[in-house]
Amino acid sequence: MTNDTEASSHQDSAEAHVAPGAPPVPSSSQPEPAFPSTDPDTVKVQRPPTPGSAIPVGLGSSRTSVNLGSGGARPAAATPSARRPGRGPRRASLQVKRVDPWSVLKLALVLGVALFFVWLVAVGVLYGVLHGMGVWDKINSTANDLLQANEPGEPLISAGRVFGVSAIIGAVNIVLFTALATVGAFVYNVSADLAGGLELTLSERE
């Protein structure tokens, strides 16, 4: 009985005089952790002390490991476009205060050139359809009879004349369209400063 008591007192004094900062010696009776410490989702939190138990000096507070992952995957963050259920699409009211004249000039020039080619294609299609119906031949014969009764001359309506006049009209339209769009941008800026710009309401798709 005396030997057993002395052995237990020596063991308690050895546990009480552990060097400060030394890690606690794991006991064989403690179960192995469910998650390895190398897992990135495993963090260490402070374990609350048991009431009535004394903490050895120099061992500090006890810590335990907690795994925050679910099945080895982190929870996906909510996407910014997700809306709360039961709410309609978000709307934003904006006001156009100023239009850049230089950007309007460039855009009007590009649109004018595109419309120029569309105009030539439309004239070509119309000329081909009327030529197939024989309209131009009748007009040319009538004009030849009225203007030059004896000598047949150059026809009044031909492909060269039609496309030449159409190209001149298209070029004039490009200049006028670009100039009017640029002047309109200046006029809009002045009007927006006086009376306010156009109000726009933007909304998300439902």
Given a cut of 90, is residue 187 above it in pLDDT? Answer: yes
Quote the pLDDT of residue 51. Answer: 61
SS (H, E, C) 109-149: HHHHHHHHHHHHHHHHHHHHHHHHHCHHHHHHHHHHHHHCC
d(CA 24, CA 19): 10
pLDDT band, residue 151 (cuts 50/70/90) = low
Q: Which pLDDT band, with edges at 50, 70 and 90, does 126 fall under?
A: very high
- Among 7-21, 126-140, 162-176, the minimum mean pLDDT is found in 7-21
The answer to whether 111 touches 180, Cβ cutoff 8 Å, is: no
Which residue has better confidence, 139 or 17? 139
- pLDDT tens column, 73-102: 555 555 555 555 567 788 888 888 899 999
pLDDT exceeds 80 at position 103: yes
Q: How confident is the model at residue 3 (pLDDT cuts 50, 70, 90)?
A: very low
Q: Provide the pLDDT confidence category of residue 178 given band limits of 50, 70 and 90.
A: very high
* pLDDT on residue 1: 46
Q: What is the pLDDT of residue 169?
A: 95
Question: Regarding predicted confidence, which is higher, 57 or 183?
Answer: 183
Confidence check: pLDDT of 162 > 80 = yes
Alpha-carbon 26 to chain mean position: 55
User: What pLDDT shows up at residue 148?
Assistant: 66
Q: Which residue from 197, 172, 186 is spatially nearest to 105, judged by alpha carbons?
A: 186
pLDDT of residue 30: 53
The model's pTM is 0.51
pLDDT of residue 104: 94
Per-residue CA distances from 164 to 28, 109, 153 (Å): 103, 21, 19
